[in-house]
C-alpha cells in the first residue's frame, strides 16, 4: 500500500501531505485516519505513547468521543527528505459545552511508501468563548494553504 506523495518530498509534496492529513483528520473517522500510518507506527501524543494502527485507531475514537465538533487546521513548518514538521490549531468543545482551542506542533517521519512511521505531537489547550471561535469546520478548498494566526 502506498500513500502519495512519497518521499523524498518537494515543498509541493510536503504541502499536499499536510493538507491531506488535515482533510483526513477533519472526517473524524478513526479507521480512515489510521490507514495513513504504518502497521507499527509509533506516536507520542501529549503524554501518551502508542504503537501500531490498532492503538492509534482506538486513541482517535476515544479522542473524538471527548473532543466534540472537532475542526482542525494544519500548516507546513518545515520538511526534509522523509520528514515534515507542522504547526496546527483545532477547536472543540467538551460534554459540558466548554470550548477549547488546542495549539500544537508535530514531527512526522515517513516510510518509502508514504505511510507515517513516527509522529510526535506537543499540544496545549486554551479555553475560549463561543465568540472567539474561528475554526468551524473543514477548510474550504479556496483556503487551502492559507496561513492561520499564531494566537
The DSSP code for 131 is G
Residue 87 near residue 77 (C-beta atoms within 8 A): yes
The DSSP code for 80 is -
pLDDT of residue 84: 99
Rounded to two decimals, the pTM is 0.96
CA separation for the pair 144, 67 (Å, rounded): 23
Residue recorded with cell 490507514: 35
pLDDT of residue 151: 85
pLDDT of residue 113: 98
Q: Which residues of the chain have pLDDT under 70?
A: none
Amino acid at each position: 500500500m502506498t500513500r502519495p506523495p512519497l518521499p523524498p518530498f518537494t515543498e509541493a509534496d510536503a504541502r499536499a501531505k499536510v493538507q491531506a492529513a488535515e482533510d483526513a483528520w477533519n472526517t473524524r473517522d478513526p479507521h480512515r485516519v489510521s490507514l495513513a500510518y504504518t502497521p507499527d507506527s509509533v506516536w507520542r501524543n501529549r503524554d501518551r505513547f502508542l504503537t501500531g494502527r490498532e492503538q492509534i485507531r482506538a486513541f482517535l475514537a476515544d479522542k473524538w468521543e471527548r473532543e466534540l465538533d472537532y475542526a482542525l487546521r494544519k500548516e507546513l513548518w518545515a520538511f526534509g527528505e522523509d520528514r515534515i514538521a507542522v504547526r496546527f490549531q483545532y477547536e472543540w468543545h467538551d460534554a459540558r459545552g466548554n470550548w477549547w482551542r488546542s495549539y500544537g506542533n508535530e514531527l512526522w517521519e515517513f516510510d518509502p511508501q508514504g505511510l507515517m512511521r513516527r509522529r510526535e505531537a506537543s499540544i496545549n489547550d486554551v479555553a475560549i468563548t463561543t465568540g472567539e471561535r474561528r475554526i468551524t469546520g473543514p477548510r474550504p478548498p479556496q483556503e487551502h494553504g492559507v496561513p492561520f494566526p499564531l494566537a
